[in-house]
Amino acid sequence: MKSKRILAIVCVFVLLSALMLSLGSCSTQKEKYVVGISQLVTHDALDAATEGFKQALIDKLGEDKVEFNFQNAANQNDVCITIANSFVSSNVDLIMANGTAALQAAANATVDIPILGTSITEYGVALNIDNFSGTVGGNVSGTSDLAPLDEQAQMIIDLVPTAKKVGLLYCSSEPNSEYQVAVVREYLESKNIECVDYKFSDSNDVTLVTTQAVNDCDAIYIPTDNTAASCAQTINGVALPAKKPIIAGEAGICSGCGIATLSISYYNLGYKTGEMAAKILTGEADISEMPIEYDTNPVKKYNKTICDELGIKIPEGYEALGE
The CATH number given to whatever domain includes residue 276 is 3.40.50.2300
E-assigned strand segments in the chain? 33-39, 66-72, 94-98, 115-120, 140-144, 165-171, 194-200, 219-222, 246-248, 260-263, 293-294, 299-302, 319-320
273 & 259 share domain: no
- Asked if residue 3 is part of any domain, the answer here is no
- Asked if residue 18 is part of any domain, the answer here is no
To 10 degrees, the CA torsion angle through 156, 157, 158, 159?
40
CB 113 within 8 A of CB 90: no
204 & 225 share domain: yes
Residue-level pLDDT at 11: 45
Tell me the CA distances in angstroms from 140 to 36, 112, 293, 300, one per residue in order.
14, 10, 12, 31
CA 269, 249, 259: angle at the middle one, nearest 5?
120
316 & 187 share domain: yes
13 pLDDT more than 80: no
N residues, the chain: 323
194 pLDDT more than 70: yes
296 pLDDT more than 90: no
205 & 308 share domain: yes
1 pLDDT more than 80: no
Question: pLDDT confidence of 322, banded at 50, 70, 90?
Answer: confident
CB 63 within 8 A of CB 72: no
315 pLDDT more than 80: yes
124 & 251 share domain: no
* DSSP letter string, 84-127: HHHHHHTT-SEEEEESHHHHHHHHHH-SSS-EEEEEES-HHHHT
What mean pLDDT is predicted for residues 111-131? 96
132 & 253 share domain: no
204 & 279 share domain: no
What mean pLDDT is predicted for residues 73-102? 97
What average pLDDT does the structure give for the chain?
Answer: 92
Burial of 194 (0-12, 13-18, 19+ CB in 10 A): middle
What mean pLDDT is predicted for residues 240-251? 97
131 & 257 share domain: no
Residue-level pLDDT at 30: 83
What mean pLDDT is predicted for residues 35-45? 95
Tell me the CA distances in angstroms from 14 to 6, 10, 18, one per residue in order.
12, 6, 6
Of 264, 268, 265, the C-alpha closest to 56 is 268
Question: pLDDT confidence of 19, banded at 50, 70, 90?
Answer: very low
71 & 194 share domain: no
pTM recorded for the entire structure:
0.82
Which is it for strands 299-302 and 260-263: parallel, antiparallel or unpaired?
A: antiparallel
Q: Helix 44-61 crosses helix 266-281 at what angle (to 10 degrees)?
A: 40
21 pLDDT more than 50: no
Query: Domain range for residue 271?
Result: 33-145+265-291
Residue-level pLDDT at 29: 67
- Asked if residue 303 is part of any domain, the answer here is yes
166 & 195 share domain: yes
> Which residues, other chains included, contact 100 with Cβ-Cβ below 8 Å and sequence gap of 6+?
40, 117, 119, 120, 121, 126, 174, 175, 176, 226
Q: State the total domains in the chain.
A: 2
286 pLDDT more than 50: yes
38 & 97 share domain: yes
End-to-end C-alpha distance for the chain, whole angstroms = 78
197 & 309 share domain: yes
CB 64 within 8 A of CB 32: yes
CA 124, 255, 314: angle at the middle one, nearest 5?
100
What mean pLDDT is predicted for residues 59-85? 97
